[in-house]
Amino acid sequence: MRLTIYGRSTVIKALVITLALDLAALLVPNEIAKLVLLVISIIFISFTLYFFRDPVRQIPENLKSGDVLSPADGKVMMIEEVQESEFIKGPAKVIGIFLSPLNVHVNRVPISGTVKFYQYIKGEFIAAYDHASADKNERTVIGIEGERFKVLFKQITGFVARRIVCELRVGDKVKIGEKFGMIKFGSRTDVIMPINANIKVSVNQKVTGGITLLAEVPE
């Protein structure tokens, strides 16, 4: 199983904790306590390694210039029309994706283009499935200008997620499906696109980052 580079520090810390639990189990004379510590150790390190997995993804071939891919694994929790004032600056459509702690949390670029907007915003840690989290929680906001249109997307922390990793900065050239960061331990990703985008997913549908087609923007 391949692990993401974005989780190396956390995995190292988890290994140290696991070794400490194993050592404690060796020193504890009580057999029941010894067994409990070993079980906790196995569950803890197994979950950590599973969470930071980075499966190989084959980006779809023959993508069109108007295609928007999902930046994250998870479940579509909302599809709405909004007024976007930061980057698209006008009416737009937004798709909100909820990531549970069991989903792959590596994030991928939804369209090819140039990063024209980047903002990190400190905020609260409301549960990611609450719609209020999109505007109140800690988040990064990234805007990419493609050949024909712009897309804005947000990495949003949740009640458990408290750590955003984003490698993108203004001026970066990016390709659709490329990895750019992650949100650790449950979160939400919003993708905002032009109002004329034809949405290809539905609420409660499961999506896969870098593979699932979220929308097509016509010429």
Active site residues: 187
- Separation of alpha carbons 142 and 153, rounded Å: 5
For residue 183, the tally of other CB atoms under 10 A from its CB is: 28
Q: Name the token pair of 129.
A: 């499935």
- Separation of alpha carbons 106 and 132, rounded Å: 23
CA distances from 116 to 2, 169, 170 (A): 31, 8, 5
